[in-house]
């Protein structure tokens, strides 16, 4: 997701490199390129118009910072605007004063609601809640079964409308509104503090669907109605979001299939079009492929400045805590980042599975996308072999690794010297990025942007 947009923006900013000051013509040309890049990413036209107006206004305006060169200032302005268009602040689930908190999921069929229900329930459970899933999608054959499977995986009970379910309430009749209502009663009786109601979708927006969702909404009075939208549907996203906003109404958005190669238009348009924030992102078919949506972090990712915070959080979820802390410390502790740490990181990433997704959150990753896409565990093994062929002193003070040491290391690990060179080059880049990230405060700048 966003790959093309990232590349386009990055090349736009490259043209500003080395400029002492920006002329009106520079700003116009840059704005034009950004505009085209956004339109090509399927961002809704009015959203693009406003985005560009803001960028121009601010680039021409007062905000001249001594600390940043003109190119970096434009990057910073675009970063702020991206953050803004993605929703500004991170928005969490609004919990009800009197539990249970009711969360209802709406969206087209295939949008990813049932999958999301499982992910969200697991996420909330990990936060100490006791959710109940309610299967009110009686339209799609298998939807109930699918929710039950997801619930089981997440370790979260499912209230479903068929005999055999142990319920103190009457078995509902197959009417989704009744199922939702009975599910809510069940949650109250059994003291669940959160209820997640999965509802039916259709292939397209239609009146009956809207009516059913509205009826469930009226019957259960949810605290949150989350509209789940497939990020891959491109320009249709706007019309669909508008239809649901008017037909049922919702309080927040979940973007699903963010792992696909969607161009990003839905993400960048939906807040502008509906006024409702994106709250979560779904990034795969697995139960853990789920993120809280942080507009600021997403803006950094789009600009290829990395998203180390999400990387650390994902690490914390997937590996044990002491390891995660060790890794987090390495990001912060710039002094200590050695080849030994680099190797350690690689191995931990390998453990975390879905390796490419994680690596894409590293600063500058987009620039190495091609290599990353070819990245597999055997490459980690080669890196490991190379680093293992170094002496402890070499691992800790890599700059002493001269030509003859490189030859020895290559021979020792059975690779060509060029592979040793590439590894050292990448390590140096990573080390530089770590330093910039750890320094905090100012923006890290696009890779290669003179500071
Ligand atoms: P629903 O009809 O809205 O309940 O949609 P489902 O939850 O059944 O999802 C439809 C299909 O999309 C299923 O095959 C899911 O496995 C898949 N899916 C859902 N979310 C994601 C995601 O974030 N990434 C990918 N790659 N597939 C997803």
| pLDDT-based confidence at residue 67 (cuts at 50, 70, 90) | low
Q: In this predicted model, which residue has the larger pLDDT, 173 or 80?
A: 80
| Those residues with Cβ within 8 angstroms of residue 141's Cβ, 6 or more apart along the chain or in another chain | none
User: Is the CB of 282 inside a 6 Å radius of any atom of ligand 1?
Assistant: yes
Of the candidate ranges 85-94, 187-196, 286-295, 370-379, the one whose mean pLDDT is the lowest? 370-379
Most confident of 9-13, 138-142, 168-172, 427-431: 9-13
Pocket test for ligand 1, best of 255, 256, 280 (most atoms within 8 A of CB): 256
Ligand 1 contact, 111 CB (< 6 A) = yes
Q: So what's the architecture of 101-302 in CATH?
A: 3-Layer(aba) Sandwich (3.40)
C-beta separation of 308 from 297 below 8 A: no
The residues pairing with 135 across neighbouring beta strands, listed in sequence order, are 198
Mutating to test ligand 1, I would choose from 112, 203, 356 the residue with most ligand atoms within 8 A of its C-beta, which is 112
**Is 145 flagged in the annotation as binding?**
no
Give the range among 185-194, 246-255, 347-356 with minimum mean pLDDT: 347-356
Q: How many CA atoms lie within 13 A of 140 on its CB side?
A: 23
Cis peptide before 109 (omega within 30 of 0): no
For ligand 1, atom 28, which residue shows the shortest CA distance?
A: 285
What's the pLDDT score for residue 443? 37
> What is the position in ligand 1's atom list of the atom closest to the CA of 146?
8
Average pLDDT, the chain: 83
Which residues lie below 8 Å from residue 232, measured CB to CB, with a gap of 6+?
257, 260, 262
- Counting ligand 1 atoms within 8 A of each CB, the residue from 111, 115, 158, 261 with the most, and so the one to mutate, is 115
Write the pLDDT tens digit of every residue in 271-284. 999 999 999 999 88
Q: Is 202 annotated as a binding residue?
A: yes
Q: Is 110 touching ligand 1 by the criterion CB < 6 Å?
A: yes
435 among the known binding-site residues?
no
Mark out the alpha helices in 248-364 (DSSP H runs): 265-274, 295-302, 308-318, 321-332, 339-351, 355-359
Please state the atom number of ligand 1 nearest to the C-alpha of residue 198: 4
Q: Is 109 in the pocket of ligand 1 (CB under 6 A)?
A: yes
Ligand 1 pocket member 314 (CB < 6 A): no
User: Is 113 a pocket residue for ligand 1 (Cβ < 6 Å)?
Assistant: yes
Is 114 within any annotated ligand binding site? Answer: yes
- Looking at the predicted structure, is the pLDDT value of residue 330 above 80? no
Is it the case that residue 196 has pLDDT exceeding 90?
yes
Indicate where the chain has its CATH 1.20.120.140 domain(s).
Answer: 3-85
Q: For 3-85, CATH number?
A: 1.20.120.140
Per the annotation, does 107 bind a ligand? Answer: yes
Write out the residue limits of the CATH 3.40.50.300 domain(s) in the chain.
101-302
pLDDT value at residue 321 = 60
Question: pLDDT at position 449, please?
Answer: 37
pTM for this model (two decimals): 0.72
**DSSP annotation of 232:** G
Tokens 């997801």 map to which residue?
A: 150
Asked which of 171-175, 225-229, 390-394 is least confident by mean pLDDT, the reply is 171-175
Decide: helix, strand or coil at residue 69.
Answer: coil
pLDDT score for 326: 66
Give the range with max mean pLDDT: 26-30, 257-261, 322-326, 380-384: 26-30
The CA-based angle 334-339-343, given to 5 degrees, is 110
CATH number belonging to domain 308-439: 1.10.260.30
Alpha-carbon distance of 77 to 58, in angstroms, equals: 7
Could you tell me the pLDDT band of residue 15, with boundaries at 50, 70 and 90? confident
* pLDDT for the residue 352: 61
Q: Is the CB of residue 112 below 6 angstroms from any atom belonging to ligand 1?
A: yes
Ranked by mean pLDDT, which of 177-191, 287-301, 420-434 comes out on top? Answer: 177-191
Distance between CA 63 and CA 60 in Å, rounded? 8
When pLDDT is cut at 50, 70 and 90, the band that residue 408 belongs to is very high
- Where does the pLDDT of residue 168 fall: very low under 50, low under 70, confident under 90, or very high at 90 and above? very low
- CA-based radius of gyration for the chain: 25
Residue ranges, CATH 1.10.260.30, the chain: 308-439
- Examine the pLDDT at 308 and tell me if it is beyond 90: no
Best-predicted range by mean pLDDT among 94-98, 203-207, 223-227?
223-227
Find the angle CA(119)-CA(123)-CA(128) to the nearest 5 degrees.
145
135: nearest Cα among 201, 197, 210? 197
Instruction: Note the pLDDT of residue 448.
Output: 34
The question of ipTM being above 0.95 is answered as yes
pLDDT over 70, % of the chain = 79
| Interval between CA 257 and ligand 1 midpoint (Å) | 7
For residue 345, what pLDDT band results from cuts at 50, 70 and 90? Answer: confident
């Amino acid at each position: 997701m966003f790959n093309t947009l990232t590349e386009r923006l990055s090349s736009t900013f490259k043209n500003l490199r080395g400029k002492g000051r920006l002329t009106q013509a520079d700003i116009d040309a840059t704005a034009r390129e950004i505009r085209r890049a956004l339109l090509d990413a399927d961002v809704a036209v009015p959203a693009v118009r406003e985005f560009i107006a803001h960028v121009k206004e601010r680039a021409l305006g007062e905000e001249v910072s001594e600390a940043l060169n003109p190119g970096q200032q434009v990057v910073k302005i675009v970063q702020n605007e991206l953050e803004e268009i993605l929703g500004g602040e991170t928005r969490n689930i609004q919990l009800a004063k009197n539990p249970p908190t009711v969360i209802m999921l709406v969206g087209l069929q295939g949008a990813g609601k049932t999958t999301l229900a499982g992910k969200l329930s697991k996420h909330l459970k990990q936060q100490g809640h006791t959710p109940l899933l309610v299967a009110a999608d009686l339209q799609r054959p298998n939807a109930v079964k699918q929710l039950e499977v997801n619930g089981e995986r997440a370790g979260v009970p499912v209230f479903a409308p068929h005999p055999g379910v142990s319920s103190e309430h009457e078995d509902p009749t197959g009417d989704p509104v009744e199922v939702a209502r009975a599910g809510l009663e069940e949650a109250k009786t059994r003291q669940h503090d959160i209820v997640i109601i999965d509802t039916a979708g259709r292939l397209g927006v239609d009146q009956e669907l809207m009516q059913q969702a509205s009826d469930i909404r009226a019957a259960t009075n949810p605290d949150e109605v989350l509209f789940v939208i497939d990020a891959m549907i491109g320009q249709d996203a706007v019309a669909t979001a508008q239809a649901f906003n008017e037909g049922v109404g919702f309080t927040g958005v979940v973007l699903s299939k963010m792992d696909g190669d969607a161009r990003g238009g839905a993400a960048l348009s939906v807040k502008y079009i509906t006024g409702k924030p994106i709250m979560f992102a779904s990034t795969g078919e697995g139960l853990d492929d789920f993120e809280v949506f942080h507009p600021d972090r997403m803006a950094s990712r789009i600009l290829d400045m990395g998203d180390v915070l999400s990387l650390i959080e994902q690490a914390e979820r997937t590996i044990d805590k002491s390891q995660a802390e060790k890794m987090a410390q390495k990001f912060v502790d710039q002094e200590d980042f050695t080849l030994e740490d680099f190797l350690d990181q690689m191995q931990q990433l390998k453990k975390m599975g879905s390796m490419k997704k994680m690596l894409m959150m590293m600063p500058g990753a987009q620039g190495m996308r091609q290599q990353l896409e070819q990245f597999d565990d055997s490459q980690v093994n080669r890196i490991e072999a190379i680093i293992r062929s170094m002496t402890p002193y070499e691992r800790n003070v890599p700059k002493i690794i001269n030509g003859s040491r490189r030859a020895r290391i290559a021979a020792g690990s059975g690779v060509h010297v060029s592979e040793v060179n590439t590894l050292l080059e990448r390590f140096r880049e990573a080390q530089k990025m770590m330093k910039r990230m750890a320094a905090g405060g100012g923006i890290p700048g696009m890779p290669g942007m003179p500071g």
